[in-house]
Amino acid sequence: MSLRIVAVAAMDAAKLEASVAQELGGVAPTRTLGSVDGLVALEWSLPGTPDEAARLRTHLGARAIPADIAVLASGNARKRLLISDMDSTIIGQECLDELADFAGLKAEVSAITERAMRGELDFEGALTTRVGMLKGLGLEALDQAYAERITLNPGAATLVATMKANGAETVLVSGGFTYFTSRVADAAGFQSHRGNTLIDDGKALTGEVGRPILGREAKLTALDEYAAAAGISRDDVIAMGDGANDLAMIKASGLGIAYHAKPVVAAEAHAAIEHTDLRAALFFQGYEAKEFVG
């Protein structure tokens, strides 16, 4: 088999080439994928086995190169389904933490969120605990949180628009809440979305979550259901996320990306974005900058 090594960085192309080529025995890049807004991407093709790919991934990851570098099998580079987490992936915030701020409980709720995303707490239990803490919070807080706090991460809209323009389905799947997934999906351009449901009495939150809860396994189920509907396999899917509840779908997909993720996620993903933005996910699929939409 052969391998594709894609490096994306906010640096001069010559410097990026020299930094990576040095670790690849002086091999020159096969292709320049282009530059956009200060980001540059280069691609190398090398012979290699899956074991060699894993070793190379570890080797490159241990080097102090300020670049996002993916080591991938050649073939089937462009995926036909994008399925992504929302909080701290497509958007820069954790919606539940921002809601908690309006109840004066952000520090307490954020601490639970952090532990859950690291895989230290059961996701469902952590979710119900945090939502329970918000019982009585007025519904106007949801509107205010979205309007004042929630922002798309750089490259989110371009990633979605470019994949859609090339025939891919795009789905936002979140352990967060449909109030936010519906709005974020619309803002970023996703075609579909799934999330959990906050229960309210018409004026305030009741502190309850609709059942069943969408957690780690439900995200994997969503991947399989959308893939089946599109008539494609798991290998045709790109899945992205940052927390432990994203691991099942990330590991099952053809290209699983950890985005500024917790260590437990980055360790098991096929590639990670730590230095650049969501447009790196397009470069990892072999898109050239001139093909980007939006």
State the amino acid at position 279 in one-letter form. Answer: R
Give the pLDDT mean for 234-259.
Answer: 98
Name the architecture of domain 78-294.
Answer: 3-Layer(aba) Sandwich (3.40)
In the numeric block, the tokens 């936010």 are attached to 180
Catalytic residues: 85, 87
* Contact present, 237 and 230 (Cβ < 8 Å): no
- Checking if the pLDDT of 1 tops 90, the result is no
Give the pLDDT mean for 245-257.
Answer: 98
| pLDDT band with cut points at 50, 70 and 90 for residue 265 | very high
**What's the whole-number average pLDDT of the chain?**
97
Give the pLDDT mean for 42-49.
Answer: 94
CATH of domain 1-75: 3.30.70.260
Which residue ranges make up each domain of the chain?
A: 1-75, 78-294
* Contact present, 275 and 40 (Cβ < 8 Å): no
Count of Cβ atoms closer than 10 Å to residue 52 Cβ: 14
* Contact present, 290 and 34 (Cβ < 8 Å): yes
pLDDT at 215: 93
Spatial distance between the Cα atoms of 56 and 103, rounded to a whole number of angstroms? 48
pLDDT at 51: 87
Give the pLDDT mean for 119-136.
Answer: 96
Q: Which stretches of 17-167 are assigned E, i.e. beta strand?
A: 31-36, 39-47, 68-73, 81-84
State the amino acid at position 116 in one-letter form. Answer: A
Give percent of the chain above pLDDT 70: 100
* Contact present, 9 and 39 (Cβ < 8 Å): yes
| pLDDT band with cut points at 50, 70 and 90 for residue 141 | very high
pLDDT per residue as tens digits for the range 47-98: 999 888 889 988 998 888 999 999 999 999 999 999 999 999 999 999 999 9
pLDDT at 121: 93
